[in-house]
């Protein structure tokens, strides 16, 4: 007898991170992971420098100051935010929270490669919906919905396909889902969406109680190594009530108290 990981984990593929070797360059940035070519802002470097001095203390669990700052920046409700070390970790935590073994998570076939992995880590079944020349196909996604479906996960804009769904398509997708199916909108690249008909998923969060949006400091703020992500969702799921799982389980890998 040998120890073995749980059965579904045997089929989990490694996530392929971008190769960072280029002759003549010491440490090239990974454009495949959308690392910033501009680096961190000097203000972020200074805040991190100060924060590192307090690393013997556990990170702040009440992330109110950060939530207030983000709420002001994006005109959102701080009570609907929860945080984690990167949006990847939050996505995994959300999927783990809502999908049980045997239940299904639908994603688009050529979308962010981690989506099926989140499902498998939760023991759930990833269902890949065919796309249309790398563009999400809302009708095909909806055709896969059945009584086992718990989550539909879209990245908008998506990586690596580089595609972006307009507001009316996201709303059509949401309208086609039963109320007990969670629509997760991974908006790691929201700040880069340049189409006029793009709509922030946060608007849907204000209108419906089955939508969660994830965001990150990794891309637009060039802070990938800091691992700071956040999500925006129904108060009953991510809200400040400490009985909420997402809030209770939020951990930060970097200090956020005061100046950071």
Interacting residues toward ligand PLP by CB under 6 A: 33-34, 86-88, 112, 155, 159, 186, 188, 216, 218, 224, 229
Nearer to ligand PLP, 60 or 88 (CB): 88
Q: Which residue is nearest to ligand PLP (CB)?
A: 86
What is the token pair recorded at 171?
Answer: 């709303």
Q: Are 105 and 153 in contact (CB under 8 A)?
A: yes
Nearer to ligand PLP, 63 or 159 (CB): 159
Residue 156, phi then psi, degrees to nearest 5: -140, 105
Query: What is the smallest separation between the CB atom of 176 and ligand PLP, expressed in angstroms?
Result: 22
Query: What is the smallest separation between the CB atom of 76 and ligand PLP, expressed in angstroms?
Result: 18
Nearer to ligand PLP, 98 or 118 (CB): 118
* d(C-alpha 187, C-alpha 194), whole Å: 13
Query: What is the smallest separation between the CB atom of 125 and ligand PLP, expressed in angstroms?
Result: 21
Which sign does the torsion angle of CA 237, 81, 196, 135 carry? negative
Query: What is the smallest separation between the CB atom of 225 and ligand PLP, expressed in angstroms?
Result: 9
Nearer to ligand PLP, 164 or 204 (CB): 164
What is the token pair recorded at 186?
Answer: 């991974």
Strand 125-129 relative to strand 104-108, pairing: parallel
Dihedral Cα 224, 160, 9, 252, nearest 10 deg? 20
């Amino acid at each position: 007898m040998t120890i073995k990981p749980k059965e579904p984990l045997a089929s989990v593929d490694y996530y392929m991170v971008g190769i960072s070797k280029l002759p003549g360059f010491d440490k090239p940035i990974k454009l495949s992971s959308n690392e910033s070519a501009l680096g961190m802002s000097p203000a972020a470097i200074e805040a991190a420098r100060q924060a590192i001095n307090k690393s013997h203390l556990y990170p702040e669990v009440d992330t109110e100051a950060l939530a207030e700052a983000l709420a002001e920046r994006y005109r959102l409700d701080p009570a609907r935010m929860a945080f984690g070390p990167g949006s990847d970790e939050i996505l995994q935590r959300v999927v783990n929270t809502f999908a049980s073994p045997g239940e299904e998570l639908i994603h688009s076939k050529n979308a962010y490669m981690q989506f099926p992995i989140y499902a498998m880590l939760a023991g759930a079944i990833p269902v890949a919906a065919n796309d249309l020349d790398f563009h999400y196909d809302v009708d095909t996604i909806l055709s896969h919905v059945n009584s086992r479906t718990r989550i539909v996960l879209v990245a908008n804009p998506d990586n690596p396909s580089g595609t972006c769904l307009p507001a009316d398509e996201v709303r059509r997708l949401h309208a086609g889902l039963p109320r007990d199916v969670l629509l997760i909108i991974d908006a790691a690249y929201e700040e880069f969406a340049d189409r006029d008909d793009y709509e922030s998923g946060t608007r849907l969060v204000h209108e419906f109680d089955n939508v969660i949006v994830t965001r990150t400091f990794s891309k637009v703020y060039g802070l990938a190594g800091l691992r700071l992500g956040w999500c925006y969702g129904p108060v009953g799921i991510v809200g400040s009530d400490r009985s909420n799982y997402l809030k209770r389980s939020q951990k930060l890998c970097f200090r956020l108290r005061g100046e950071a």
